[in-house]
Amino acid sequence: MKLITAVIKPFKLDEVREALVAMGVEGLTVTEAKGFGRQKGHREIYRGAEYAVSFVPKLKIEIAVRAEQADAVIQCITNHARTGQIGDGKIFVTPVEHVVRIRTGETDTNAL
């Protein structure tokens, strides 16, 4: 099993979610995050006090999938989250040791 973590631009969430659901993903978790990469932050000025704000708002999506589904999910996210501008985000894939469905107690691939 794999955990796919995708950091994307916030306005892309609906498009990515619809595409994932259409391809069979049944659940995901979204967190509001902020970050920077090559996309620079911005400048804020309050009565002469200037602040360089490096962080840009992002959304982090986490999806646990069967190993064989991972590539398809990554491709789906990439296609729908891309704008071609700096700041589109990144996807990280990590192995998942164990999964439990809380309501029923089902484990691993039965819980995905």
Partner 1 sequence: MKWIRRIELGLALSIAAMMTAAASLADVAPDAAPVTPAAAEPAAEAAVALPAHAAALALNSGDTAWMLTSTALVLMMTIPGLALFYGGMVRKKNLLATAAQSFAITALITVLWAVLGYSLAFTNGGDNQSFIGGTDRLFLAGMGNEVAHSLAASIPESVFMTFQMTFAIITPALICGAFADRMKFSTMMVFMAAWVLLVYCPIAHWVWGGVFLGGMGVLDFAGGTVVHLNAGIAGLVCAIVLGKRLGYGQENMSPHNLLYALIGASLLWVGWFGFNAGSAVAANALAGIAMANTQIATAAAALSWMIVEWMIQKKPSVLGMLSGAVAGLVAITPAAGFVEPSGALVIGLVAGAICYAGAVWLKHKLGYDDSLDAFVVHGIGGAVGAILTGVFAVSSVNSLGKGAIDGNPGQIVTQIEGLLVAGIYCAVVTFIILKVLDATMGLRVSPEEEREGLDLTQHGERIQ
> Binding residue for partner 1 (CB under 8 A) from 32, 38, 45, 98?
45
Q: How far is the CB of 46 from partner 1 (least distance, A)?
A: 5
Contact indicator for 10, 57 with CB cutoff of 8 Å: yes
Q: Would you count residue 51 as binding partner 1 (CB under 8 A)?
A: yes
> Binding residue for partner 1 (CB under 8 A) from 26, 32, 47, 84?
47
Q: Would you count residue 36 as binding partner 1 (CB under 8 A)?
A: no
Please choose, out of 12-20, 38-46, 60-68, 74-82, the segment that lies near partner 1 by the rule CB under 8 A. 38-46
Please choose, out of 9-17, 39-47, 68-76, 93-101, the segment that lies near partner 1 by the rule CB under 8 A. 39-47
Question: CB neighbours of 72 closer than 8 A, spacing ≥ 6?
Answer: 23
**Radius of gyration over every alpha carbon of the chain, rounded to an integer in angstroms:** 17
Contact indicator for 91, 76 with CB cutoff of 8 Å: no
* Helix-then-strand count for the chain, H and E: 2, 6
Contact indicator for 63, 24 with CB cutoff of 8 Å: no
What are the residues binding partner 1 (CB under 8 A)?
44-49, 51, 53
